Amino acid sequence: MTDSKELVLQIAKVLDEKKAIDIKAIKTEEVTVVSDYFVIASGTSNTHTKSLADEVEYEIKQRLGIDPEHIEGRATGWILLDYGYVIVHIFEKESREYYNLERLWADASLVDLSDVITED
């Protein structure tokens, strides 16, 4: 069984490898019962956003043997991959700005991803 923090780090690494933009992880367990973490990232287009979601789903299955419990939004500007304790939000730029999850969850603490993602 993979712990939720390790899952977050692996997801961030996959997103970074596929050139996701502005990858953030938020520790939500102190502020909600919905999840322990959110991972938030953006793609440069609808196609890039879909490929990011596909790559996370594929690579996490390959690396950790875990499938998402639920996936939503493949036809929209916001794709959600629900891994139970970790929820991945992949946005197109406009959708991310509109929903602004970082502001909505401002009471939650950010996770340091500097060891797993590269600076652009």
At 54-89, the pLDDT tens digits run 999 999 999 999 999 999 997 788 999 999 999 999
How far the first Cα of the chain sits from its last, in Å, is 33
Determine what percent of the chain falls in helix, strand and coil, rounding each to the nearest 5.
Answer: 35, 25, 40
> If 0-12 CB within 10 Å is exposed, 13-18 middle and 19+ buried, where does residue 30 land?
exposed
pTM over 0.75? The answer is: yes
Topology classification of domain 4-110: Beta Polymerase; domain 2 (3.30.460)
- The answer to whether the beta carbons of residues 90 and 54 sit under 8 Å apart is no
Cross-strand partners of 91: 42, 78
The structure tokens listed for 34 are 């919905």
What are 14-32's pLDDT values in tens digits? 999 999 999 999 999 888 8
Q: How high is the mean pLDDT of the chain?
A: 92
Q: What residue spans define the domains of the chain?
A: 4-110
At residue 74, the pLDDT reads 79
